[in-house]
């Protein structure tokens, strides 16, 4: 089983828009976690309000994600962090896909798909049998992206608690 080390570059791929190349890498600590927080605050506050659970995770991702054996992936174009996603272990062989963000200036280039596919591959390498997520029906592009890789809509009661009031779309994927 391959392990991803913090800060390790995973892939460099051409963007769908053909502008530059996007590098997907495993996030380390410090500045990487600042980029993770800023990218998430940017999209969350555009559509919603930051919730207590957001603050808890974004203010301490080292403890809430990395220390639990989770991963944070960052996407970079031309030296700028433009996207992120987290993979959080939530029990034996079950992971939450969380905190996926792509900066508005980088949307439409396939970065979200690349981050999502990297997460799916990493989850498989980590022995995951299923992934789940919570989203919101306002985020039509995100929901469509999740559906396009096989996530299916399920009742909230079938998933572990997520503690986000804005979540009204619940999905899982069997690996």
pLDDT tens digits for range 145-173: 999 999 999 999 999 999 999 999 999 99
Q: Enumerate the domain spans of the chain.
A: 9-174
Per-residue pLDDT tens for 89-99? 999 999 999 99
How is residue 27 annotated by DSSP? -
Whether the model pTM is above 0.85: yes
Q: Is 6 exposed, middle or buried (0-12, 13-18, 19+ CB in 10 A)?
A: middle
CATH number for the region 9-174 comes to: 3.40.630.30
Strand, coil or helix: 84: strand
Task: Output the pLDDT for position 18.
Answer: 52
Closest CA to 74 of 131, 130, 12: 12
Name the helix (H) or strand (E) containing 11.
strand 9-14
Sign of the C-alpha dihedral computed for residues 173, 46, 60 and 101 taken in this order: positive
Per-residue pLDDT tens for 83-142? 999 999 999 999 999 999 999 999 999 999 999 999 999 999 999 999 999 999 999 999
């Amino acid at each position: 089983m391959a392990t991803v080390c913090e800060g390790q570059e995973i892939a460099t791929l051409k963007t769908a828009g053909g502008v530059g190349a996007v590098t997907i890498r495993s996030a380390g600590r410090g500045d990487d976690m600042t980029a993770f927080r800023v990218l998430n605050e940017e999209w969350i506050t555009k559509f919603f309000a930051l919730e207590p659970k957001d603050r808890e995770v974004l203010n301490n991702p080292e403890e809430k994600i990395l220390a639990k054996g989770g991963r944070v992936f960052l996407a970079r174009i031309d030296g700028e962090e433009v996207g992120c996603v987290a993979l959080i272990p939530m029990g034996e062989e079950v992971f939450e896909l969380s905190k996926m963000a792509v900066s508005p200036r980088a949307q439409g280039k396939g970065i979200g798909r690349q981050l999502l596919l990297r997460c799916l591959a990493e989850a498989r390498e980590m022995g995951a049998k299923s992934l789940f997520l919570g989203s919101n029906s306002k985020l039509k592009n995100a929901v469509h992206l999740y559906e396009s890789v096989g996530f299916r809509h399920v009742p909230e009661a079938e998933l572990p608690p997520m503690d986000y009031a804005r979540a009204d779309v619940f999905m899982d994927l069997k690996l």
